[in-house]
Structures are given as C-alpha cells and as structure tokens.
Chains A and B, each alone.
Chain A
Amino acid sequence: MVARASPSLSVELNGLKLKNPIIAASGTFGYGLEYAPLGDLGKLGGMVTKGLSMWEEKGNPPPRICETPAGMLNSIGLENIGMENFISQKLPQLIQYDTAIIVNIWGREIDDYIKAAERLDGVNGVAALEVNISCPNIKKGGITFGTDPSVTFELVQAVRGKTSLPLLVKLTPNVTDITLIARSAEDAGANALSLINTLLGMEIDVSTRRPSLANITGGLSGPAIRPVALRMVYQTAKKVNIPIVGVGGISSVADVIKFMLAGASAVQIGTANFFDPTICWRLVNELEEYLRNENISDVNQLVGALREE
C-alpha cells in the first residue's frame, strides 16, 4: 500500500495565510517569547500578542485571577508594555520564528485604535491585527465598544481605513445577539472574526466576604465557556461570509474539530496554555494525525461540515 500523502493543514483567513489553524490566543501567550523555551514557535499557525495600547498600561491591582470550576476569572486590566516597547524590544526577536504574528490592539477611544493601526501598518513581521473591541475590564462610559453594532461599525471602519494588514475583529460574548455585532464588523471591512472573548463573571470568597478579584468582576475563560463559544461560532458562521476564528475553552483536538465543524476556519488556544503549556504544539500534531486517520486530505474540509439532518 502506498503511504498516504500528508494532509494539508494550511488555511487562509481572507488574506491571512496560516501554515495550520492553531493560533495561540491573546493574553494567554504573553508576547510569544515567554513560551519560546517550550517549543518552536515556527511550528504554530500563528500567535496573537497580549493586547497592546499606544501607551504603557500598568493594569489592575491584585488579586487579578481566580480559579473557578473548569475555568478562571481574570481582571488583568489590559497591562501591556506599550506599542513602541513591543516594536523595539519584542518584535525583533519574534520575527525570527516562521509563524503569523498577529498583534492585538485596544484603546479607550476610537482614535487610540487608529493610532495603533497606523503605527503597525508596514511594520516588518506583523502578519495581521486583531482588534479587541470586547474587553470587559475597562469602562468607557459604562459600555464596551463591541456591545453596540453601530459603534462596532464605526470603530472597525476607522481602523480599516488606516491599514492594509488583514483585520481580525475579536467579539465579546456579553451581548444579546452576537451575530448583529459580527455583521457590523463584516460590513465595516473586517477580514475575519475571532470569537469569543471572556464572559463577564464574578466570584466571592465566603471566608472573607470579599470579591475574589480586586476589580470585583472579571472575564471567565477556560473549558467552562466552551459550549457558549461553540454555539456563538455556529450561529455567527450562518450569518457572515468572512472566516471565523473560534476561541473559548479549547483544550483538546476534539475541541478543535468541533469548532471547525461549527464553522470556524481556525482556532485560538487560550487558557489551556496555562494548565498545559505545550498544548499548541501537540494540537498541531494531533490534528494532522486525526486527518490522516480519517483519510481527510485537507483540513478545510472540516470547516462547517456539521451534519444537521
């Protein structure tokens, strides 16, 4: 019997080419270099940086994290080293790895996003931008950009006008109908959508009667949110024509396949990096093994291949 050819793992997200669909998610992989001692970053489909602002952000006071059943809450407060420090200190080291470096950007005003997009446009080594319109931790008049379809449209359109890089827009699940926000981002020129960000949550320490986080509320992530994320990817895939990157609690190759069947063209691995620090590399291998065993020649055949009858 002739040995089967290696299955094709490469995916294309409307202008962003990835060698495989496994991407490390923003906020869980630092600036990439933190995980470089554990594996070859060049084997990953891509990595998304910690969310960057044009300024250096100190973040929230501790405690910032709290474990919950099959999940965790965080309220880091968007701490980051600032765009210029990232470009001068981290990016030159990162670009030696043959992986898609996706820079996550955020701001407090639309103008902050515009400045970040302008600054990164044409910077060597940046493969794409991921626009964080969904962080629940910083209050902007009490409302997050990504909870309002028209604000989402305005923001994404403004960023779109300032960069030729592929734009991923990362959506918040803390809305009534995520597909409305997804449509707005698509209409405004997003290349692809990443969903979901964390679910707003809270925990209390009964012994002290205090909130477990200094910020009181925080974002829930981990396996606990996976069914919510899967449902949102499924619903959104039916409503948009741009690729979806599934994220939310993925911690096994079966999870990767579920998100692809629901309509995701690629996935991001987040909280699992914390409890299983070499998982991204393992998933690349296990996905290839799965395709080989199932006699599937191209990973794209899984996208949206859910059987519904």
Chain B
Amino acid sequence: MSLPLRKQNSIAPGYWLLSLKSAQIASVATPGQFVMLKIGKSFDPLLPRPMSIHSIIKEDNHRLGFTILYKVVGKGTRLLAEKRSGESLAIVGPLGTGFNLNHIASGYEPIVVGGGIGIAPLLFLAHELVEKGQTPTVFLGANSQEELLALDEFESLRLTPKVSTEDGSKGVKGMVTDLLASYLDDSKGSQGEIFACGPAPMLKKVASLAKSYGLKSQLSLEQRMACGLGACLGCVVKIRNKNSGHSYQRVCTEGPVFNGEDIIW
C-alpha cells in the first residue's frame, strides 16, 4: 500500500527518524516485526528495503502510525533520507515473527541489549514490556555519544539504560557486550531472558553470554531481502535442527527474531 509520510527528521548525523501514517499496520504490529519499504519507482535501487518498526504513534490511545529509525548506509537509504512530508512510500507490512513475549510473567527479568542502529526495534519492545508491567534492564552501545540513539525515549519510559561507547564519549568505554558480561556476572541466578539486536558479532557474543549464564536469548537478525514475504528464499540464516544437522530459515518469515541457541554463526 502507498502510505503518506507524516514527517522525517535527522536525529543524529546520518540517522533519520521517519513517521508514517497507517492505523492498519500500527494496530496489528508487534515488537520485532518489520515492513518492506520501496523507495520511489526507480529500478535503481530495485528492491524494497526491510525496516523494523521503531515505535507506534498513538493519539488518545489509538494506534495511528509508526516510526522507522534508520542509518544511511547506501543508495537506498540515501534516497529515503531525501523524502519529505507529503510524499508517499510503497509499504508492505507488518511482516515477520517478532519477539515472543507470551511467556513473560512476574519475577522474570527481561534484559534488552542494543548495539548501534540495532536499537531500532528495541524501543517498541521496551514499550510493550513496560505495558506488561515489566521493568527491563536496558543496555545500549554505540560508537560514540552522538550515535547513541533514542536514549531519552527509553528514559521517558522510566528506564535507566546502562550505556557504553567505543570512544568513551558517554557511559563506559568499550563494547555493550562487556557491560552485559559484567552485569550477568554480578547478578548470577537471575530468572531472565535477553532480547537483543545489533551487528552480527555483537549478537554472536550475546548468544554465547546467554548460554554461559544459562539464560534464553531472542536475537533480531538482519539479512538482505528481496520480497519480505517468504517467497524468494533469499534472506535465510543457518539454524540448528532439533535432532541433528541444520536447515536454512527465512529471516522474513520464521524471523527476524530467533532463539540465540538455535543460530549457527
């Protein structure tokens, strides 16, 4: 469907927040799901881009639309950043299997870990967790303070993210997984589950930390996609089978969120 762009603004150099109006998508979307977004009618870039849903726009408790937080990394995102309010974009969604929150109950600690632009789907997740009466422990990491996105949005949920930057310009100097490791070391025996999104090396580290501390993890993966609908089989990841061996599963359909222990890196 063609959706009107409500507004788009840069929230940091190279990072953009796009607001789209669609009660239809907003009313059924769950955290971790994404949309396929076609940037213009041109054949270059040809394919739509998968973009996770960053937050739901609500007015008087009605879900009216959603936002997308993205980083300019190539031709598609560069052209997307030039779009202004009033223009429209061809969107299909919401798509994919997001974070599974069905089993969340009291006495359970959700741990949310985001790295770089990987925080995009985690704000929506944090909202949902807070609505379910949870107080997730949040870890956010980035290259620098400038690229530490949406921190105030997490704070407005009365969450206090633990922060790291690689250059030390904000929070602890180092990787977000180092922060997570020392936290898990100090809080052994916690009944929790890790929800993470970020670059593959970070997610791989999160999966191994979760395993060594006996926690479950749900990781949101990124992969090149053509259709987003489960048809092209282009976006697969290698997943451990229950019994033995492996299979390829689609990031767009079975994912983008997978159990950390199932992923073969």
A interface list, Cβ under 8 A from B: 27-30, 34-35, 38, 50, 58-59, 61-67, 69-72, 74, 76, 79, 222-224, 251, 271, 273-277
Could you jot down 26 A-B contacts, CB within 8 Å? Answer: A30-B229, A34-B230, A34-B231, A58-B247, A61-B238, A62-B224, A62-B237, A62-B238, A63-B224, A64-B224, A64-B234, A64-B235, A64-B236, A65-B224, A65-B234, A67-B45, A72-B47, A74-B234, A76-B233, A76-B234, A79-B233, A79-B236, A271-B46, A275-B46, A276-B90, A277-B227
Closest chain B residue, CB of each to CB of A223: B43
Tell me, in angstroms, the Cα distance from A271 to B224 when the chains sit together.
15
Closest chain A residue, CB of each to CB of B236: A62
Closest chain B residue, CB of each to CB of A74: B234
Pick the contact of A67: B46, B223, B232, B247 (CB < 8 A): B46
Majority secondary structure of chain B interface residues (helix, strand, loop or mixed): loop
Q: Are A277 and B232 in contact (CB-based, < 8 A)?
A: no
CB distance from A249 to the nearest CB of B (A): 9
Q: How many of B's residues come within 8 Å of A, CB to CB?
A: 27
CB distance from B165 to the nearest CB of A (A): 24
Chain A residues with CB below 8 A from B223, complex form: 62-63
Tell me, in angstroms, the Cα distance from A64 to B229 when the chains sit together.
16
B interface list, Cβ under 8 A from A: 38, 43-48, 90, 92, 223-227, 229-238, 246-248
With contacts A64-B236, A76-B234, A79-B248 taken as known, whether A274 is within 8 angstroms of B227 at the C-beta atoms is yes
Q: Are A27 and B232 in contact (CB-based, < 8 A)?
A: yes
Q: Are A74 and B46 in contact (CB-based, < 8 A)?
A: no
Other than the given A62-B236, A71-B46, A275-B46, 5 more pairs (CB < 8 A) read A62-B248, A76-B234, A222-B46, A223-B46, A273-B227
Tell me, in angstroms, the Cα distance from A222 to B234 when the chains sit together.
15
Pick the contact of A62: B43, B90, B230, B235 (CB < 8 A): B235
Tell me, in angstroms, the Cα distance from A63 to B44 when the chains sit together.
20
Chain B residues with CB below 8 A from A35, complex form: 229, 231
Chain B residues with CB below 8 A from A28, complex form: 227, 231-232
Tell me, in angstroms, the Cα distance from A34 to B230 when the chains sit together.
6
With contacts A69-B44, A275-B46 taken as known, whether A29 is within 8 angstroms of B237 at the C-beta atoms is no
4 nearest A-B pairs in the assembled complex, by CB-CB distance: A30-B231, A65-B234, A70-B43, A274-B226
Tell me, in angstroms, the Cα distance from A35 to B223 when the chains sit together.
21
Q: Are A275 and B48 in contact (CB-based, < 8 A)?
A: yes
Q: Are A70 and B46 in contact (CB-based, < 8 A)?
A: yes
Pick the contact of A59: B90, B230, B248 (CB < 8 A): B248
With contacts A59-B233, A61-B238, A64-B234 taken as known, whether A70 is within 8 angstroms of B44 at the C-beta atoms is yes
Q: Are B45 and A76 in contact (CB-based, < 8 A)?
A: no
Chain B residues with CB below 8 A from A74, complex form: 226, 232, 234
Q: Kindly name the residue among A35, A58, A62, A70 whose own CB sees the greatest number of chain B CB atoms within 10 A.
A: A62
Chain B residues with CB below 8 A from A29, complex form: 231
Tell me, in angstroms, the Cα distance from A28 to B234 when the chains sit together.
10
Chain A residues with CB below 8 A from B226, complex form: 65, 72, 74, 271, 274-275
Closest chain A residue, CB of each to CB of B234: A65
Closest chain A residue, CB of each to CB of B43: A70
With contacts A59-B248, A64-B236, A65-B224 taken as known, whether A72 is within 8 angstroms of B229 at the C-beta atoms is no
Closest chain A residue, CB of each to CB of B230: A34
